[in-house]
Structures are given as C-alpha cells and as structure tokens.
Structure 1
Amino acid sequence: MTDNGYRALVRRPAGPDGCSLVDVAVLDTPALEPGDLLLAPLVAGICGTDWQILRGDRPDDSPVLGHEGIARVVVGSKAFAPGDIVTVNPTHPTDPGFLLGHNVAGLWAERTRIPASVVNAGLVVSVPSSAANDVLIGALAEPLASAIYGLEIAMAVFEDTPRSLVVWGDGIVGQLAAAVWRQAMPETEQLIVGRNRDSHNCIAADDPDLPSRLAALRGPVSAVLATPRSATVTALTTLDSHIDHALTVDVHGGLDSGPVSLRSGEVDVAAVRAANCGGLSSVPVAKTLQRAGAGPLRLFGHRGVSNAHLRAAIGALTENAATFASLLTQVTDLEGAAELINGVLQSGNRCHDGRRVLKAAIRLEGAAA
C-alpha cells in the first residue's frame, strides 16, 4: 500500500503479437457500496487461463487478473468481519457479469473489491486463519477444486469403472486431475499426453505412436481434457477417432462455441461443457453419443466449482501438503511476478530462471498494511 492507493499488476494494451505485458502500478482504492467487501489478497495464483488472457487467446478485459487466492477482509459486512481470512469462488453460477479476474478486477493486487451481490450469493468462503499465508492453498485450491468437481461428475455418469484414464495435458490442471483420479481409482491405468516424456505412461501429442497407444488402452476408458483453448478440439477428436471402447470425456479445457465433428456427427461441445456450472445441479448433465462400430461416447464438462469443492480442496492441501508441494514451482512478489510474466510472454517459453513455470504464486507485501 501507498499513501495514495494500492499496488497491482496492471495489463498494458496488447502489442502487435496480441500479448499484454504487465506493470506494477498504483491504483486508487475502490469506492465501496453498502454490503461490499474490501479484501487484501495475501497469496494469489497465476493460472493457465491467465496466461491465455495475457497471450490474447481469450477476450477477457479486466485490467487486473487473478481469480485464485487467499485474502484478508479489510472492510467487512454483516457476514464477514475485518481480519477474517477468505477465498472467493470466482465463477458466479447464474450471473455472467461476475467472473473474478476476467471481467472484474482480480486478486493480483493489494486490494480487491467484492460486490455485495457476490457476497450475498455466498461466493466468499471462510478459510481457517492458519492458512492465511499458505502458498499451496492460495495457488492450488481453486484448480484442485475443479479437478475434484470433474471426478465427481465422471463417477456419476460412467456406467462402469474405467480401466484406463487419459489425461490430455500435463500442466497444473492435468497433474492435479491425475492425482485425484489416482487416489480415487488406484487400479485405473493412466496415460498422460503432454510434454513430460520421462515416464512410460507419458507421450507427446505429436508422437506418431499416440494413435496406437490410444487404441490399445483397456476399456472402458475415461479422459480428462486439461487443454488450452486452442488444443481442446484436436484432443477430443483424436480420442474419439482412435478409442473404440466406451469412452467418457471430461471436457475440462475451454473451447469456442459451435459444432465439432465427431464420429457420431456434429456436436456443440461448448454447450455440453457449460451445462454443469458451480455444482448447482444435483444430477450432473452429460451427453451420450452412439458411435457406429464402437462403444458410446459420453461427454460432459463444467464451469466453476461449488464452495464444497473449494473446502474439499483446502482440506486435501492441508492434510496432504507433501503430495502437492512439487507442483508449486515459483513463489514471488508483485515485482517478481511482473518479471516472470513478461519474461515468459516475450520469450514464448514457459520457463523462468531455467525452471518450467508449472504453477506460480504471488505473495502480496501490501496485504499486511
């Protein structure tokens, strides 16, 4: 904090390459309406979706990103007192006008305003005070909650326990998904499609052996598409083309709306993905597609998570910190985060100081003010 406002990572206008670099800038403390909360973020995560926004792959226009983190309440309301430690469920299940760090200012800042409508909707979640500076919880609770939500839906919609699981993408969401599935179904064989080729169960998306590896999987098969927006359709159509067993696919990664050509015909997969939002439905929605000469394809996806998913993730990170510690690859402050983000965007290489940026967390110095 300064005498005149608070510091934040603020996006510059997009350059010729479409990328938005960031600067540490001082912003005026936001004016509050009755019932609003003013938060002091303590830890904030840098998410794969944030990278997509910064690269210009998504149209989100918030000048301050950040939808994952832990914060301290500075100005409270009836439900929350100053000093309370909270996290914010970033996706409003019924109001598209609130998507934290996407279309409203996010947590990459020393202060963040949360509107009363969001507080009243129950999207501000109490966190144990012992977790106030826990970088694992701050950076990983929301993506882990999303992986838990995906597994929950899968277990509700598949008819038989899968003998094989394909996780397409070995970024943070892919690795968290692999971990929660491994814990829930240790007998299910996993194949990871990604960059890491150090294990027999990992293969690159452009490996010529991938089609035969997919065809040889024992069925039934489930899959999690932990893909960037640009790769989701290719991943889905590849699985659909080469796996004849009954196949259940969690379309975790985003994609543009419109028809996708599958063996069963054209399907608006983005609409299927959006049918589950924030854990609202007690009966998860999936679409079953019959495929000639092959087992059925069951498609589902989800947006956001419920508060229960967030609490489950916080509990898992608290109880099993050692399991997840290696996934947090960088911890830095605001200035260091600007250097990391701009370096990755300018180089086009997801590395910083010689280490892959799998998941980074920002500690906010101003949060103690």
Structure 2
Amino acid sequence: MTTTTTRSSRTPSTTTRDSATHRAIIRAPTKCVFVEVPTPQPGPGEILLAPEAVAVCGTDIQILRRMRPDPADVVGHEGFARVVAVGSGVTGTAAGDRVMVNPTAPGNPNFLLGHNVPGLLQERVVVNAAAVAGGQLLPVPDQLPAALGTLTEPLAVVTYALECLRNTAPRHLVVDGGGLIGLLAATRARRVLGADTAITVLHRHDAVRRWAVDRIPGIHRTWSLDDDPMGLADVSDGAALLSAVYRDATTQHVERLLEVLGNRLIAVHVIGGVQDSAHLRDSNSVDLAAVRADNTGGPWPPHASSAGSQLFTGNRGVSNARLALAAGDLAAHGHEQASLLTHVVGPEDGVRLLNRIVAGDRHDSSGEPIIRLVIRFG
C-alpha cells in the first residue's frame, strides 16, 4: 500500500498560514488542481468541518470526467472529519467532535454531498443548516483509523444490497464490476448470504483481476459484453446479480447478463448509477432508475419490482443507523477490508493520482492498480 504518515489529534490541525483560506482539490477544465480558496464561516445552524481522510469513489470519477451533470467544483463524500466551529443555534455538536456526513438525504434532494454541494476533498467545508437539521452528521469512533473509516459508507451500501438479495436466498452471487464496490461486496458476501455462497466477480481490467485473485474471495474473471456466454456456464441456478458498474453501462450490462444467465438468475440489485428512465429491453415494466431511486436512503423492507420470476432492487445511500453499524464493524473487523486501501497519500500526491485515474489510467507510476485512493488532509 502506498501511504504517507500524518499526525492525529482531537483538535483539528491548522493547515494554512491564513485562516481566511484553505486548500481544496478543485475541478478545473482539463484536470484537478490543489489550490487555496476562501474559507467560509458557519452561519446559523451550519457546521464547519476539517476533513481528516477522504476517499475517491467511482461516482467522483464520473463527475470529474463530465459523465454526469453534477455541478460541485469539489467532489468527495466518503470520509471522516473533525468539527472546527459551529454556527449559532447548533446543539449537540462541538468543536473537536469526530463525525462523518451521510451524503444522501432522502427528504432533501438539494443536499447531495460532493454532487450539488461542495464535497470533502478540501481542508475545510461547511455543512449547510438544512443538512445539519436533517441529521446528516453522525459521530464516529475515535479508535477507527480515518483511512479505514472511508469504507464506512460503501460498506453500509454493500451490506444493504446483499441483504436485499438475501431475501431471495441465492446460492451464487455474481458481482458485475471489479472496482471498490464490487470487491467490497465479495469480501462481505459470505457473511451476509451464507458461508457456502459461490461468488463470481466480473472484471473489465485484467490487472485488477490479477490483483484480486489472491486477496478477495470468489472466482475472478475478465468479462465483456461480447464474450462467449459459455464463459459463465459455471454460474449455478439460484444466482443473484449485484451490478456495480458506471451509470452509462449499467442498463446494457444488466440486459446482457439477463440474456446470458436466463432463468438461472433470480434477483438483481443495482448499486452503481443508472441513467434516467432505464427500462430493460425485454422487460419494459422494470425501470432500473426508478427501482434504485425508490430505495434512496436504504428503507427496509426495500421497494422492489419484478419481471416473471426475477426480483429487481437497488439503492442510493443508506440510513444513519446503517452507517453507524458499518463504522462499528470496521472498528472491530476492518482487517477484512484493509487490503482494498491500496493508496493512502497526502493531497499533493493525491491530486496527481486522481488526475491519472480521470485520464483513464488506474495504475500508479509503478504499475500497481489503484483500487482505493484515500487522500489525507488532517
């Protein structure tokens, strides 16, 4: 793992010479840049945070590649932070508290951290009053290392997805997508679905497949839409599909796997983004975008759609309660996922690696695949 060492303290560090400014990783026209920007002060009901460590996820990359219309100039929604200051009227939270932000507010579409409001890839960020009042901040354990803690939100999302699939009692889990979410699902699957569950992970990139073979449970194979269907002949009856690819590929991949696996497939859950009105070609009654949106915030029981004998679910984000459970799980059992944190670096190295990924190169200068990039600010 590529890593740098930084100090840890309950009091947020002073990261700039002038408290009126801080440094942020900004989305520029052709690349990301690490520059000084004005530091906002918290207004009534608001909270100013100092991010400790922030991970880069697939959604961030899509935004930076202009594959999505999200307007935020600073992305990043998976990380831990310390409270620097609180605005008037804020109760129950004080400077020095360690928190994370639930990036998804089911009742407030105007707050989606790192999408339509500034994200965490900066030394200071204000959480607006609506998000504070809506309970989007939650405390996190001091004993959980910040870099490992960046897995809290994706682990909670993956666990929710697997529990949705568990409702159909699958015997075989097919994970489409060998990125962080797909690999995290493979590490978690047997704990949720049962120790005897077969696992197959479908990769786009052979370098990541080779990296995963000796580290992550399951059978790992490269797969594309044009591959011979016999390549998946060993997928058993009673299979469930967890879709974790980029939003522009989700519908096409689900349709192809429905075609290849046929009646062997009993359930589909979509984690990755979905383009609007994503009706399946052979089952117009199923709109994957609507299925995913219906479970914003991770309600239970989940909303589902069906086509014949196949059940379709999805989700965008989870509840605070599930985030708290995931943080506690990482504090106790984080060694199971620690190998996924391949690159933990400071912001200068972080922006260089980030620009490599955005340009289409998911390898560092030594050729190692970048599975999880975590940028330390604290």
- Aligned position for 1:293: none
Q: What secondary structure does 1:235 align onto?
A: helix
Q: Structure 1 residue 208: deviation in Å?
A: 6.4
Q: What secondary structure does 2:337 align onto?
A: helix
Q: Using the aligned pairs only, state the percent identity.
A: 38
Q: How does 1:284-295 map to 2 (within 5 A)?
A: 284-290=302-308
C-alpha contact (below 8 Å) 1:24/1:335 kept by paired residues: yes
Task: Find out whether 1:350 has 2:358 as its counterpart.
Answer: no
Q: What secondary structure does 1:101 align onto?
A: coil
- Aligned position for 2:315: 302
- Most deviating of 336-345 and 186-195: 336-345
One-letter code aligned to 1:276: N
Q: What secondary structure does 1:97 align onto?
A: coil
Distance 1:42 1:215 in 2: 46
Partner residue of 1:34 out of 11, 30, 44: 44
Q: Structure 1 residue 129: deviation in Å?
A: 2.1
Q: How does 1:28-177 map to 2 (within 5 A)?
A: 28-76=38-86, 77-131=90-144, 133-137=145-149, 139-156=150-167, 158=168, 161-177=169-185
Q: Structure 1 residue 168: deviation in Å?
A: 0.4
Q: Number of aligned pairs? A: 347
Distance 2:198 2:304 in 1: 23
Distance 2:301 2:220 in 1: 33
Deviations 1:177-204 (A, max 9, x none): 1111122222111111103444582222
Task: Find out whether 1:204 has 2:204 as its counterpart.
Answer: no
One-letter code aligned to 1:190: I
The root-mean-square deviation of aligned C-alpha atoms, in Å, is 1.8
Q: Structure 1 residue 264: deviation in Å?
A: 3.1
Distance 1:65 1:2 in 2: 24
- Aligned position for 1:193: 202
Distance 1:339 1:209, change over 3 A: closer
Q: Structure 1 residue 246: deviation in Å?
A: 4.7
C-alpha contact (below 8 Å) 1:41/1:110 kept by paired residues: yes
TM-score by length of structure 2 reads 0.87
One-letter code aligned to 1:166: V
Q: Structure 1 residue 93: deviation in Å?
A: 0.9
TM-score by length of structure 1 reads 0.89
Partner residue of 2:190 out of 161, 178, 182: 182
- Aligned position for 2:13: none
C-alpha contact (below 8 Å) 1:72/1:83 kept by paired residues: yes
Deviations 1:135-166 (A, max 9, x none): 111x211111110111222234x2xx211110
One-letter code aligned to 2:345: T
C-alpha contact (below 8 Å) 1:98/1:104 kept by paired residues: yes
Task: Find out whether 1:260 has 2:279 as its counterpart.
Answer: yes
C-alpha contact (below 8 Å) 1:277/1:304 kept by paired residues: yes
Q: What secondary structure does 1:181 align onto?
A: helix
C-alpha contact (below 8 Å) 2:239/2:265 kept by paired residues: yes
Deviations 1:249-282 (A, max 9, x none): 0011112112433433453211111110112x33
- Aligned position for 1:23: 33
Distance 1:146 1:210 in 2: 31
C-alpha contact (below 8 Å) 1:204/1:210 kept by paired residues: no
Distance 2:312 2:334 in 1: 32
Partner residue of 2:252 out of 234, 243, 251: 234
